[in-house]
């Protein structure tokens, strides 16, 4: 089986929802609300596009999905340092006549870089490689010298997306000519968050109503932004219908500055017992963007999927 469908969009995983269009204020103290417009962010439905960006100084274990190799298993341990990235491959249960595979790092443009050969002995293989890349997926093939993966290039293993990560934006285009939009990885600079133009809110509290999609379908929320306090802007977010969301997950509200730095405003953990939850915080930033991620553990920087990016139109 090949990875021909790298850049195709059969279905898609909704990873982000953008909401815009403010309604006119009802009076000088009345909140302003939005209507909602949904923009889907997709990746290949069959999982063939699994490029992620590896964080510096953290070892990430990636599962390797086998193809036409019944009973085979594989992992790749990836450790990125300031001077490059190490990839440690470990295969087991490999059957058949092939005695070697070739490992490739495939970037977001679909360009494969040969990591090196992987020698199979008694169904087991271990290999260690180095690469200057920091955004890639791992693909193994019995073919050497692959310059692009097409329908006639066999694939035996391909990396999966590890927990806590999501695909980075691809630089390739699909057959219709539109660019695939994909979610980001652990590196904060890859999140795209529009500024809210908070100074335009004046001294009144502004309310932004949102809804969630995908696996968070049914969860609703409101963000209240109050720039009235001198030197700081009050931010409050309420989550409604928390029982509609996955249990034991952390829903984190982030503020993004104009230079792309992120500040954690707070989080709620869905225990499954509460219908509503609330985050209260403040920031000294004159203007900022807001977005929500769902995280598996406590984090100081966003690492998970973006389920809501707040966007307003004056």
Structural domains in the chain, CATH included, are 4-44+187-310 (no CATH), 52-159 (2.60.40.200)
pLDDT at 143 over 60: yes
Beta partners for residue 263, in sequence order = 255
* pLDDT higher than threshold 80 for residue 226: yes
Q: Write down the pLDDT at residue 213.
A: 65
pTM above 0.75, yes or no: no
In angstroms, what CA-CA distances link 6 with 39, 101, 137, 300? Answer: 21, 20, 11, 32
Strand partners, 208: 223
Label each residue of 14-42 as H, E or C. Answer: CCCCEECCECCCCCCCCCCCECCCCCCCC
pLDDT score recorded for residue 191: 63
Determine the pLDDT at residue 230: 67
Span 90-99, mean pLDDT? 91
* pLDDT on residue 312: 65
């Amino acid at each position: 089986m090949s990875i021909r469908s790298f850049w195709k969009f059969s279905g898609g995983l909704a990873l982000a929802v953008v909401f815009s269009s403010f309604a006119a204020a009802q009076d000088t103290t009345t909140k302003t609300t939005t209507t909602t417009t949904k923009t889907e962010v997709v990746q290949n439905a069959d999982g063939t596009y699994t490029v992620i960006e590896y964080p510096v100084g953290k070892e990430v274990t990636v599962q390797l999905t086998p193809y036409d190799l019944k009973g085979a298993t594989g992992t790749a341990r990836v450790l990125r340092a300031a001077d490059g990235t190490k990839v440690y491959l470990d295969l087991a249960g490999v059957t058949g006549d092939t005695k070697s595979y070739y490992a490739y790092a495939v970037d977001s443009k679909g360009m494969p870089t040969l990591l090196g050969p992987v020698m199979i002995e008694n169904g087991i293989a271990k290999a260690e490689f180095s690469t200057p890349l920091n955004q890639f997926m791992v693909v193994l093939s019995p073919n050497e010298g692959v310059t692009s993966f097409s329908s006639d290039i066999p694939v035996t293993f391909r990396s999966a997306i590890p927990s806590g990560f999501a695909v980075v934006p691809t630089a390739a285009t699909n057959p219709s000519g539109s660019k695939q939009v994909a979610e980001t990885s652990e590196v904060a600079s890859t999140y795209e968050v529009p500024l809210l133009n908070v100074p335009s809110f004046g001294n009144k509290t502004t309310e932004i109503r949102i809804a969630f999609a995908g696996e968070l379908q049914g969860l609703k929320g409101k963000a209240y932004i109050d720039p009235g306090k001198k030197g700081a802007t009050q931010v409050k977010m309420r989550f409604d219908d928390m029982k509609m969301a996955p249990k034991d997950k952390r829903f984190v509200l982030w503020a993004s500055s104009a230079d792309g730095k992120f500040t954690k405003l707070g989080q709620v953990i869905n225990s499954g017992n509460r219908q509503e939850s609330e985050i209260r915080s403040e920031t000294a930033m004159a203007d900022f963007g807001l977005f929500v991620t769902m995280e598996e553990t406590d984090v100081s920087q966003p690492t998970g999927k973006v389920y809501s990016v707040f966007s307003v139109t004056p």
